[in-house]
Structure 1
Amino acid sequence: MKCLWCESEKAEQTGLTGYWELPDGSRAVEITVIPSVSCSSCGMEYQEDHIVDEIEDQLMLIDTKKIDSTISYNDLMSIPRFLKKNYFKI
């Protein structure tokens, strides 16, 4: 896998923890085992844009009051949505 930052071929898929502020701004949640990229050449760890978009869309389209302070990526993505997609995204 190629690192988006340093373009090294030493990047690897991994699962990392991240923190997201809820769309209503009421609090942040810890999301574990997020599909991520880790590069041993430059030390950068990041989530690709499509994963970030998936998380942000999911948080926009679910009842976030039912989420604990920590949730795994897979559990978050399996929560039923109010709408099928984010119609407000431009």
Structure 2
Amino acid sequence: MLKCVWCEKKAAEEIKAPVYWELPSGLRAIEIQQTPSLQCGACSMLYQLDETVEKIEDQLLLINTDLVPNQITFTELMEIPRLLKRNYFRF
């Protein structure tokens, strides 16, 4: 068990969960299935680590989101070829 960032109890476990994400354009949202997540058995909070959030946000900034379907798995999203190698705005 891992320490929950919300209640700070050692009751969080790693799971794969669906998340809903607004695209950078703000024109629509997508469901990203099987996203690495943590769920706490004590407070029931379901969340993603900052590292996972950063990966998703960077990927969505660096790909052609017009080609992203409304539902996609985390792995499929990460495998979409990028238009740029990295997010040059992240310092």
Shift of 1:59: 0.2
- Which ranges in structure 2 are unaligned for 5 or more consecutive residues? none
CA distance in structure 2 between the aligned counterparts of 1:46 and 1:72, rounded to whole angstroms: 17
Identity %: 50
Q: Quote the residue 1:78 is aligned against.
A: 79
Q: Quote the residue 1:57 is aligned against.
A: 58
**Between Structure 1 and Structure 2, which shows a larger proportion of strand residues?**
2
1:12-68 per-position Cα deviation (integer Å, ceiling 9, x unaligned):
000111111111112111101110000001111100111001000000000111111
In structure 1, what residue type is equivalent to 2:32?
Answer: I
RMSD: 0.9
TM-score (norm 1): 0.95
CA distance in structure 1 between the aligned counterparts of 2:45 and 2:82, rounded to whole angstroms: 32
Instruction: Name the count of aligned residue pairs.
Output: 90
Shift of 1:2: 1.0
Runs of 4 or more above 3 Å deviation: none
Shift of 1:89: 2.6
CA distance in structure 2 between the aligned counterparts of 1:75 and 1:5, rounded to whole angstroms: 29
Q: Quote the residue 1:4 is aligned against.
A: 5
CA distance in structure 1 between the aligned counterparts of 2:31 and 2:80, rounded to whole angstroms: 16
| Alignment partner of 1:45 is 2:42 | no
CA distance in structure 2 between the aligned counterparts of 1:13 and 1:75, rounded to whole angstroms: 20
